[in-house]
Structure 1
Amino acid sequence: MKKNRTDFQTRLGKGRKKHYELQQMETFFQLNDLPATKELLNTIMSYALKRNSWIKEEPSVIYHFHQAMRSFIRAGYFLILKEKKLFVNIQLEDVSPLGLGLLSEKEYQNPLLVFKKAFKEYSVKEFDYFISGMVYFSLGIYDNLPERNMINPYIHLIKMLDAAYLIIERRRNIKGRT
């Protein structure tokens, strides 16, 4: 008699539909407001680096944020694996410096550069480690601080949020024209 074994491992990337990553990012921004997400990430980061305090947010909110960011990171990683130019470069004539955020002019024109640079420097596993560590250290008082440099992954995440939002907005504008 054969034993049927169920595979409980995640099957990310298998059987994906066309533009699945973009749909996942769009869902992320439907459930999470960009400024609120960046503010919560900033709050988690600041409380994680403080020794004698913990975050005032409800732990369930922090856990939901942790899971949402993990799926966002994976969607960004699968987005660059396709290596396609999804959008036409945008002219920068009428863009204010405030509209750029942390993105450079080249990154504003091609937001995929942000993801390529981030995943060239850090792996998905390292981003998971960063997010998990920041959540862990923000929820309690600990004598130890994170042992790695946590500023660079934080900056990459902020830039990835800006770039993903820009990609989604451009996708909506393109769909709206047709």
Structure 2
Amino acid sequence: MKKIQTGFAPRFQANKKHSGLQLMENFFHFNELDVSKEMLSNLMNYAVKRNSWIHEDPAVIFQFHQSMRSLIRAGYLMMLKERKWTVDTQPEKISPWVFGLLSEKEYRNPLLVFKKAFREYTLREFDYFLSGIVYFSMGVYENLPERNIVMPYIHTVKMLDAAHLIIQRKREKKMAGAHSG
């Protein structure tokens, strides 16, 4: 009888089947931007509280952790490919409320968010950050995370906004092409 081995390691190779853009689309197919930002914020808040833990189903947290890892890798893959996702809009036509945490420059070219994040932190450090906030949010511990987790958190929130913007622009471009053709 042939033994079948199941590989549980996530696969994040950059090929035609699993491009960075496809991984981002998959993320937002299963996760809404606002819900993801709220979950990330809750994990962060509970990670730094000493005497409380998050009251969320661990399976939901694990799924979110894996989804966020995939999204961060998607941004890394997209950054490597250096594709342009800029928008040619006059600054006075863009409402400041639209930017979120993004600067105007980052709003115009969302890949700048990923470039800056990966200049400051590696994929491994983002994995460490995500694992750390999940770990510390799920129990009561004497010790707090030993590293600065605020900056990776800010980068991660900005990556969520930038990825959503890229997917939104892709859809708009697709719709414009469908209407013009």
Report if TM-score (shorter chain) is over 0.5: yes
Partner of 1:3: none
5 Å-filtered alignment, 1:123-134, equals: 123-134=122-133
Call closer, same or farther: CA 1:137–1:19 in 2, change over 3 Å.
closer
Partner of 2:88: 90
Q: CA offsets per residue over residues 121-168 of structure 1, 9 Å max, x none? A: 000000000000000000000000000000000000000000010010
Q: Output the CA distance in 2 between the equivalents of 1:57 and 1:88.
A: 37
SS in 2 for 1:93: helix
Gaps of 5+ in 2: none
5 Å-filtered alignment, 1:103-114, equals: 103-114=102-113
Pair 1:13-2:19 in alignment: no
> Which stretch has the larger CA shift, 75-84 or 140-149?
75-84
Pair 1:115-2:91 in alignment: no
Call closer, same or farther: CA 1:19–1:96 in 2, change over 3 Å.
farther
Q: What's the offset of the Cα at 1:90? A: 2.7
SS in 1 for 2:43: helix
Call closer, same or farther: CA 1:140–1:18 in 2, change over 3 Å.
closer
Call closer, same or farther: CA 1:18–1:11 in 2, change over 3 Å.
closer
Q: Return the letter of the residue paired with 1:176.
A: M
Per the normalisation by structure 1, the TM-score is 0.91
SS in 1 for 2:69: helix
Partner of 2:169: 170
Q: What's the offset of the Cα at 1:83? A: 1.7
Q: CA offsets per residue over residues 7-35 of structure 1, 9 Å max, x none? A: x6665325x01781111101101100100
CA RMSD across the alignment:
1.7
Q: Return the letter of the residue paired with 1:90.
A: D
Partner of 1:138: 137
Q: Return the letter of the residue paired with 1:20.
A: S
Pair 1:73-2:61 in alignment: no
Call closer, same or farther: CA 1:88–1:102 in 2, change over 3 Å.
closer
Call closer, same or farther: CA 1:156–1:88 in 2, change over 3 Å.
closer
Aligned length: 171
Partner of 2:47: 48
Q: CA offsets per residue over residues 47-90 of structure 1, 9 Å max, x none? A: 000000000111111011001011111111111011222x3433
Partner of 2:21: 22
Gaps of 5+ in 1: 1-5
Q: Output the CA distance in 2 between the equivalents of 1:176 and 1:18.
A: 23
Q: CA offsets per residue over residues 96-130 of structure 1, 9 Å max, x none? A: 11111000000000000000000000000000000
> Which stretch has the larger CA shift, 163-172 or 16-25?
16-25
Give the fraction of aligned pairs with identical amino acids, expressed as a percent. 59
Call closer, same or farther: CA 1:167–1:145 in 2, change over 3 Å.
same
Q: Return the letter of the residue paired with 1:121.
A: E
